Amino acid sequence: MRKLIGREDFWSVAAPVTAGFVASHPYFAANPLALAASVAAGVGSYRYFKEEAKRRLNRVKEDVNEGFILESDDTWPEHTMGLGGLRLGYTKDHNKPLDIENDKLMRHLAIIGQSGVGKTVLGLNLLWQQTARGGGWLFIDAKLDKDTRDQLAYMARVFGREDEFYVMNVDEPENSNTYNPILNGDPDSIASRLMNLLPVAEGNPGADYYRQQANYALTVLIAALQAAKRRYTFMDLAIMLQSAAAIGKVESLVPLDDPAFMVLQVFLDSFKKQDKNGIKVDVDKLKTVLGGMAGRIAQFAQGKFGQVFNTVTPEIDLTDIVRNNKMCYVMLPTMEKDTASLNLGKMVLSDLRTTVAQMQKLTKSERPNPPFICFADEMGSYCTGMTGIARMFEQARSAGVMMIPAFQTFGNLAATSPEFEEMIIGNTWTKCFFKLGAVDSATKAADLIGQRTKYQYSVSSSQSESASAQSLRVTPDSSQSESGGVGESWRQVEDYRVPPDKLTRMGIGECVVTSGARTFHISTQAIEFPKVPEFRKNKYPAKLPAGFTTLDLEGQYEQFLIGLAPTPSAPAAVPEPL
């Protein structure tokens, strides 16, 4: 950046100063004409200085391939930062702060750009501001980044909120808080959450049949468990979906006068068969229909995943985190455990959707204030097939929740469906476009930013010569002529406000922001953290809700497995349940 005052600014500064010194000379006190001349010189010098300073301070440079600076629209008042809004950065042309108020942020913010250009840096900056103003947030990170985890823990400690910070990390279960996303909500919402574990079955009638059967089974069984006031784990559900004896035990726990008992009876009737020993549940049919879902549920009950998720007293409760403005960092091991991480990301987002529905039932004064932030970094890596999540972008505003999805290309969203991409992009009021690596994404971004009217100047010139003479003549008659002309014109044309090639050549840390009808070219600010200590989890007390007990099928698994169950001395008919 050039200095504000330098050698080339001599005349624009010296002229008004000299005029002032000259006007103060005693000679001009008695000479009105000379005084008027000096005043005129001073006014002229001032105007020159003003225009020259304006020209030199105008940093807009659009006609260069690298290091360009685009013109920004007028920003909003700065007082929106703090409880009233968040700061995205500073405009590159006039270095003015760009603050977005909460009302616009609750219409959601999309961050698009290739890897390593500053998407996460901007997200961390927003989370810093959110933490400072006492707000809550959920950060879903598609990578295992211990540095980010340690910085977030430091951030919470700086503002005296370390007791409100949770971490979910299946790669280090001993340093992670526990979480069970299948305990909160009604049976339909929990079943829908689990159905995200199954692949989409569009155009496959056979697969769709098994999906519908699994959804029906989960809804019925979860309703029975809630009626019996039993807390359950992922392993409990996996055993129930494969063991008639386990379902029979749950059946005995449900009160006879509860509607869930009758629904469970109807469900079991579709799996019963009669043979010479009487009527009993067809275990083979049960495993054939529900075994696929049981296997996917069991992923969350084994190994490192099981140490975090297979619990009946979880420390992390998303409803509590959102309502009470707490903070949660979710680390997804997408490189090492692709399928399991994809399922975990889906599970967390589905749980958040249930939480949003619960927040909508509250009065406005009971909803999160300031608005809660869900920052879903690299969202395209774990939202595949989750068309229902797009509904959250339509309704989260009414729950006091702002969504901030970050992804690399529009194709990440279109991979789920074109409608999904349209719903996400169409429901984000503010969009931050960092450097885009794909031409298609850059063109689509330029279309979203919009066009502007420009006047194009053109000059045309023409020149002609001609000569003629008669082939047979008695007099030396002939003719020659020359003509020429110059024309100029102005015409009105529509052109991209920000051309696609500009979006593919931006530097790291700069982006084009559109918020409503305004467009800005800004530099984002990176937080310089000191050397921070390694994170160590906080242990939060958790207990069973009043009136509930544990199901604990896992602790009695031997009696539910055919190979380990004791063989009776004589076969006996199984009486049909009441």
Is the four-CA dihedral 174, 176, 182, 186 of positive or negative sign? positive
114 exposure class (CB count in 10 Å sphere: 0-12, 13-18, 19+): middle
Tokens coding 214: 């699994």
Q: What is the DSSP letter of 532?
A: -
| Contact between residue 311 and residue 233 where contact means Cβ atoms under 8 Å apart | yes
Residue 243's pLDDT is what? 84
- Give the contacts of 426 (CB within 8 A, at least 6 positions apart): none
Provide DSSP, 201-237.
-TT-HHHHHHHHHHHHHHHHHHHHHHHTTEE--HHHH
For residues 297 and 239, the answer to whether their CB atoms sit within 8 Å is no
Q: Where are the domains of the chain?
A: 7-57, 69-179+317-444+503-542, 180-313+545-578
Identify the pLDDT of residue 79. 63
26: Cβ–Cβ under 8 A, 6 or more apart, which residues? none
Give the distance between the most distant pair of CA atoms in the chain. Answer: 142
What's the half-sphere exposure (Cβ side, CA atoms, 13 Å) at 223?
19
Distance (Å, whole) CA 158 – CA 160: 6
Cα(175)–Cα(156) distance, integer angstroms:
17
Q: Which pLDDT belongs to residue 172?
A: 94
Q: How far apart are CA 318 and CA 352, in angstroms?
A: 7
- 3-state secondary structure (DSSP) of residue 457: strand
pTM flag (> 0.85): no
DSSP string covering 400-456, please?
TEEEEEEES-THHHHTT-HHHHHHHHHT-SEEEE-----HHHHHHHHHHH-EEEEEE
pLDDT of residue 138: 97
- What's the CATH number of domain 69-179+317-444+503-542, 3.40.50.720, 3.30.70.640, 3.40.640.10, 3.40.50.300? 3.40.50.300
Sign of CA dihedral 284, 285, 287, 292: positive
Distance CA 7, CA 218 (A): 78
Distance CA 264, CA 51 (A): 82
User: Across the 578 residues of the chain, what is the mean pLDDT of every consecutive 10-residue run?
Assistant: 53 64 64 66 66 60 78 81 88 92 93 93 96 96 92 96 96 95 92 82 70 89 95 92 86 92 90 77 80 86 92 95 96 80 88 93 92 92 75 89 93 84 91 93 92 73 70 63 74 83 92 94 93 93 90 79 48 46
Four-CA torsion 181, 185, 190, 192, nearest 10 degrees: -120
Mode of pairing for the β-strands spanning 327-331 and 85-91? unpaired
Chain centre distance of CA 84: 21
Cα(482)–Cα(471) distance, integer angstroms: 21
DSSP conformation letters of 478-519: EEEEEEEEEEEEEEEEEEESS-HHHHTSPPTTEEEEEETTEE
Burial (CB count within 10 angstroms: exposed 0-12, middle 13-18, buried 19+), residue 344: buried
Q: Which residues contact 293 (CB under 8 A, 6 or more apart)?
A: 194, 197, 198, 214, 217, 218, 241
Cβ contact 329:166 at 8 Å: yes
CA–CA separation, 400 and 24 (whole Å): 64
The pLDDT, as a whole number, for residue 482 is 75
Which residues fall within 8 angstroms of residue 468, CB to CB, at 6 or more apart? Answer: 478, 479, 480
Q: What are phi and psi of 260, to 5 degrees?
A: -65, -30
Say if CB 460 and CB 423 are below 8 A apart: no
Phi, psi for residue 402 in degrees, rounded to 5: -110, 135
Confirm if 127 and 373 have CB atoms less than 8 A apart: yes
The 10 Å CB-count burial string (b at 16+, else e) for 275-313 is: eeeeebbbeeebeebbbbbbebbbbbbeebbbbbbbbbe
Q: Where are the beta strands (DSSP E) in 288-395?
A: 327-331, 372-376
Q: Residues 380, 408: contact at Cβ < 8 Å?
A: yes
Tell me the pairing of strands 430-433 and 510-515: antiparallel
Residue pair 206/524 in contact (Cβ under 8 Å)? The answer is no
Pairing of strands 430-433, 278-281: unpaired
Q: In the structure, how many helices (H) and strands (E) does the chain have? A: 19, 17
In contact, 129 and 86? CB cutoff 8 Å: yes
